[in-house]
Amino acid sequence: MEEEPAQVPGSRGRTIEECQDMIRRSLRTPMAKFLREHLEKAGCGVEENLIKAINCDSKISGGYISGKGIIVCSNHMNIQDEVNQVVIHELIHAYDDCRAKNLDWANCAHHACSEIRASHLSGDCHYKRELLRGYMKMRGHGQECVKRRAMKSVIANPYCSEAAAKDAVEAVWDVCYNDTKPFDRAP
């Protein structure tokens, strides 16, 4: 699950149709093409219609639902870069789900691992994005950001308490932060 980006004052997001067009553009980016290619190699294709724009009630920007696909919350999207980021983040979850075969999203450690990987590998924690979110630390922000965003997502899992989420993130941190598949190294 991807937390909602900072909103531009006075903006109300995009229509579902506008967001669907933005999703199509996202799927043409090099990173999305790379992830889709590796999903195919792992035996799990992601067709364009499996990524859907919807209006969301909760304050998230998107999500991955195992066996169903990816959602992008059109009413929380304003610019192409936001859609690109959500699509890439959620494609990493799809890749993890495909690769693991037995990934249990109700298991806090499994969920934490995928969130750590998605936040780390998608560029969610690039320092420019962090500055836009109001986090001003210039050095060492990356790992702090990944932990913070993974914790926030795992806490939102109805099967994980805050304590369970914290324990899960800590327990899987080293293995999952250093797992850069399908990339050779963190992009």
Tell me the H-state helices in 27-79: 30-41
For the chain, the maximum distance between any two Cα atoms, rounded to a whole number of angstroms, is 43
Determine which one of 2, 3, 4, 90 is catalytic.
90
**DSSP states of 110-157:** HHHHHHHHHHHHSSTT-HHHHHHTT----SSHHHHHHHHHHHHHHHTS
Helices and strands (H and E) in the chain: how many = 7, 4
Specify whether the CB–CB gap between 75 and 13 falls below 8 A: yes
- Rounded to whole angstroms, how far apart are CA atoms 149 and 12? 23
Query: Is there a catalytic annotation at residue 2?
Result: no
Token code pair at residue 159:
């099967």
Residue type, 70: I
Residues catalogued as catalytic:
90
